[in-house]
Amino acid sequence: MINPSDVLGMNARNQLYVPMNSSFSKSICHSKYATKVLLLNEGISTPNVYGILTSIEDVNDFNWPNLEKDFVIKPTNGHAGKGVVAFLKKEKDNWIDVVGNEWDQDDLKIHCFDILEGQYSSHGSSPKVIVEERIIPHSTLMQYSYKGTPDLRVVVFNSVPVMAYLRLPTEESEGRANQSQGALGVGVDIGTGLTTYAAAHKTQLIRYLPGTNIELRDIQIPFWKKTLLTAVRAAKAAKLVYGGIDLFLHQEKGPMVVELNYRPGLSIQVANQAGLRKRLEKVADINVLNPEHGVRIAQALFAENYFETDEERRPIITHKEKAIIFGDNSSQIETEVLVKTGRYRSAIASELARELGLIDLEDLLWYQQDSGEGKVPVVEVDFELKEQKVDTEMIVSKKLDRSKYKVEIGRKDLTNFLVRVEKK
């Protein structure tokens, strides 16, 4: 269940976050052509463009017979997948689209004329036609997709990827990865790249691929960290403070940016069973140094700890335990830790953090306001407790320098343990 107070609604999105984007960013997002030019200039991978057609003459003069297979025709300023047609192959003088329809050259031209006349456009008054490479679905995702190419949307705010989901084409969507036309939305854990929840028709939670017994949970998205990095780089290139980055996954080339959105839809929250508002607020004031830093912050803050563990297999711990704390350069130290369920995020004494080499600039994630100590650094820390390895982030606390326990384990890191309350 999503906490209603965590949900980002349409009014809040339009009033609080969309206005953060400049007119430059919006103009880039409005035009697939401008997006292509920007991405190519920035060296960000995107499907190859075979032609930009701006007039009837361009359509008539284009070398259609040269298109053999795997191409897409779409408007430069379309919306919700309207006017997008993907083609698989050419048979004799005709082309077969992804749902099996046959098109001759006149059909292709007529579709282009409709695009130029604005039939599928939502923005502006000068629609153009893009003919570009069709990305064949990555083999990992192919079994979950009906004929078309699935895509990923990553919502980026302040250079931090805050939420992501996989969109799977269905028979209802006619092979298009668009939820408005019937595609499925499948949430993805930012920390691991594993899928979590799935939704049909934007609101209906489902567990299996429709008509099958194939589970939609725990699908490992290929190239996950590279996908997040590519999304942040694309957002920065377009100067998007808040936006949605749509990507395809190529078998060899990895993530390829298809489209940028300055006002992404909100159904991603259903597919993740998590609210955007809370996540946006968490990263609003963080000083993000670069895309790699933004991804590290995201994976520290938004990892789901989603995998299920049988209760009887969860280690039982008390409020005092021995743990191994790992540092840089293979250093480690065993120390007694305090299991403190009253605190959310774990903390480490500043002296111990320095001893383990954890306070270098490269290791700092962000600074956080602490009620007792003011602004304190947050660092990545790995520790082992009851033979379970935990990757987390901890507050660096000077107060703990004077404490018997140099590490306090908060409830965020206790998901896979059972804490036994000892009687006094």
One domain for residues 281 and 332: no
Q: How many domains in the chain?
A: 3
One domain for residues 193 and 257: yes
Mean pLDDT computed over 37-64: 93
One domain for residues 282 and 364: no
CATH number at residue 397: 2.40.70.10
CATH number at residue 15: 3.30.470.20
SS3 breakdown of the chain: % helix, strand, coil, rounded to 5?
Answer: 30, 30, 40
- Domain stops at, among 118, 134, 150: 134
Distance between first and last Cα of the chain = 36
Structure tokens at 139: 């083999």
Structure tokens at 102: 């046959």
Mean pLDDT computed over 124-144: 86
One domain for residues 219 and 279: yes
Q: What is the pLDDT of residue 305?
A: 54
One domain for residues 148 and 259: yes
Q: What is the pLDDT of residue 147?
A: 80
User: Which residue type, as a one-letter code, is found at position 115?
Assistant: I
Is residue 63 scored above 60 in pLDDT? yes
Helices (H), 238-368: 268-272, 276-283, 291-302, 350-355
Q: Look at residue 293 and tell me if it is in a domain.
A: no
Helices (H), 320-410: 350-355
Q: Look at residue 415 and tell me if it is in a domain.
A: yes
Q: What is the pLDDT of residue 306?
A: 46
One domain for residues 230 and 315: no
One domain for residues 363 and 319: yes
Stretch among 17-26, 193-202, 409-418 having the lowest mean pLDDT: 409-418
Q: Are 187 and 272 a contacting pair, CB within 8 Å?
A: yes
Is residue 395 scored above 50 in pLDDT? yes
Structure tokens at 360: 């270098």
**pLDDT tier at 123, thresholds 50, 70, 90:** low
Q: Are 141 and 165 a contacting pair, CB within 8 Å?
A: no
Mean pLDDT computed over 411-420: 84
Q: How far apart are CA 400 and CA 324, in angstroms?
A: 17
Q: Look at residue 291 and tell me if it is in a domain.
A: no
Per-residue pLDDT tens over the stretch 293-345? 999 999 888 987 544 444 445 788 989 999 999 998 789 999 999 999 888 89
Q: Look at residue 12 and tell me if it is in a domain.
A: yes
CA distances from 331 to 127, 144, 347 (A): 60, 43, 19
Q: What is the pLDDT of residue 365?
A: 81
One domain for residues 334 and 415: yes
One domain for residues 21 and 152: yes
Q: How far apart are CA 280 and CA 156, in angstroms?
A: 9
Q: How far apart are CA 96 and CA 77, in angstroms?
A: 24
Task: Kindly report the pTM of this predicted structure.
Answer: 0.77
- Domain stops at, among 273, 307, 341: 307
Per-residue pLDDT tens over the stretch 157-185? 999 999 999 999 998 888 878 888 889 99
- Beta partners for residue 245, in sequence order: 154, 260
One domain for residues 349 and 216: no
Mean pLDDT computed over 351-359: 91
One domain for residues 85 and 19: no
Stretch among 85-94, 120-129, 392-401 having the lowest mean pLDDT: 120-129
User: Which residue type, as a one-letter code, is found at position 412?
Assistant: K
**pLDDT tier at 125, thresholds 50, 70, 90:** low
Higher pLDDT: 363 or 338? It is: 338
Q: Which domain holds residue 263?
A: 1-46+135-286+299-307
Q: Are 129 and 116 a contacting pair, CB within 8 Å?
A: yes
Q: Look at residue 276 and tell me if it is in a domain.
A: yes
One domain for residues 129 and 59: yes
Q: What is the pLDDT of residue 424?
A: 45
Q: What is the pLDDT of residue 178?
A: 81
**pLDDT tier at 422, thresholds 50, 70, 90:** low
Q: Look at residue 294 and tell me if it is in a domain.
A: no
Q: Look at residue 424 and tell me if it is in a domain.
A: no
Long-range contacts of 137-142 (CB under 8 A, 24+ apart): 137/249, 138/222, 138/249, 138/250, 138/251, 139/251, 140/219, 140/220, 140/221, 140/222, 141/166, 141/168, 141/219, 141/221, 141/222, 141/249
- Domain stops at, among 134, 153, 170: 134
Mean pLDDT for the chain?
90
Q: Look at residue 117 and tell me if it is in a domain.
A: yes
